């Protein structure tokens, strides 16, 4: 676990030094969400009906902005080669970097979501399910995105390829995340949708680190 804690602490320090990356993600999330009332009109009923979907779509797109940098810096400066040659578990390294990415992007999105929900007139019943859904869904976004980032590592226009690769894989998270908010707003239980999101997170946590590690070894070779 020493390599895990070392990589996690290192990535968090780098993220704090380059805080503009995290601020860019939050700024995109806020701006993209605030644009919707201008596009669809200020009617509260319409905005409340689409609030859950809007917040989830903008959160997914915002998370994409920083995914291509999860491994790029380490790949370019040779750190990734040293980690592979060290003989340490590359899956643990991947998991540490994914957790660091989620802490610096997913958590700010979760904190910001209730504030932006106000601008979309989301009913009060939807606030807690929205945050719980994001809490369960954003780790899956980071895990799946890390695998995609590893697959396109070292390619030209990797950011575009990454978006095309991972966005279709985000559809289940988007569907059940939006459904959880809609269920709560309409008086139904959001529990089943939240449990599915939890299951998706467990599945991604079980498979993604090993798939990402294999893709990183292939990229280095």
Q: What is the pLDDT of residues 124-133, one digit of tens each?
A: 999 999 999 9
> How confident is the model at residue 17, as a pLDDT?
82
pLDDT at 158 over 70: no
| Residue pLDDT, tens place only, 67-78 | 878 888 778 777
Distance CA 174, CA 133 (A): 10
Distance CA 81, CA 24 (A): 29
Range 78-85 average pLDDT? 79
| Residue pLDDT, tens place only, 22-45 | 888 999 999 999 998 888 888 888
Residue with the larger pLDDT of the pair 2 and 125: 125
| Residue pLDDT, tens place only, 175-215 | 999 999 999 998 899 999 999 999 999 999 999 999 998 88
Residue 22 and residue 104 in contact, taking contact as beta carbons nearer than 8 Å: yes
Range 152-164 average pLDDT? 77
- pLDDT confidence tier of residue 11, bands split at 50, 70 and 90: confident
Average pLDDT score over the chain: 88
Distance CA 110, CA 25 (A): 12
> How confident is the model at residue 19, as a pLDDT?
77
pLDDT at 1 over 60: no
The percent helix, strand, coil of the chain (3-state, each to 5) is 85, 0, 15
> How confident is the model at residue 202, as a pLDDT?
96
Q: What angle do CA 210, 214, 217 make, to 5 degrees?
A: 140
The count of C-alpha atoms lying within 13 angstroms of the C-alpha of 177, restricted to the half-sphere facing its C-beta, is 30
Structure token digits, residue 174: 């988007």
Angle between helix 107-119 and 44-67 (nearest 10): 160
* Domain layout of the chain by residue ranges: 2-220
Structure token digits, residue 143: 């895990």
Identify the DSSP state of 103.
Answer: I
pLDDT at 108 over 90: yes
Structure token digits, residue 43: 């009617």
């Amino acid at each position: 676990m020493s390599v895990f804690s070392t990589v996690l602490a290192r990535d968090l320090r780098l993220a704090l030094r380059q805080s503009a990356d995290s601020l860019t993600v939050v700024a995109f999330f806020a701006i993209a969400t605030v644009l919707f009332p201008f596009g669809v009109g200020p009617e509260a009923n319409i905005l409340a009906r689409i609030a859950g979907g809007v917040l989830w779509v903008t959160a997914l797109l915002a998370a994409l902005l920083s995914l291509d940098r999860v491994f790029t810096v380490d790949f370019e400066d040779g750190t990734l080669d040293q980690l592979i040659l060290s003989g340490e578990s590359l899956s643990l390294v991947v998991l540490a970097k994914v957790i660091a990415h989620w802490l610096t992007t997913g958590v700010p999105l979760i904190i910001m979501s209730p504030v932006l929900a106000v601008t979309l007139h989301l009913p009060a019943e939807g606030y807690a399910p929205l945050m719980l859904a994001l809490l369960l869904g954003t780790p899956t976004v980071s895990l799946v995105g890390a695998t995609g980032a590893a697959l396109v590592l070292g390619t030209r226009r990797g950011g575009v390829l990454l978006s095309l690769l991972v966005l279709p894989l985000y559809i289940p998270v988007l569907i059940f995340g939006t459904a959880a908010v809609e269920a709560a707003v309409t008086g139904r239980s959001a529990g089943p949708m939240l449990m599915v999101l939890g299951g998706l997170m467990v599945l991604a946590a079980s498979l993604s680190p090993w798939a990402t590690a294999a893709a990183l070894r292939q990229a280095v070779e």
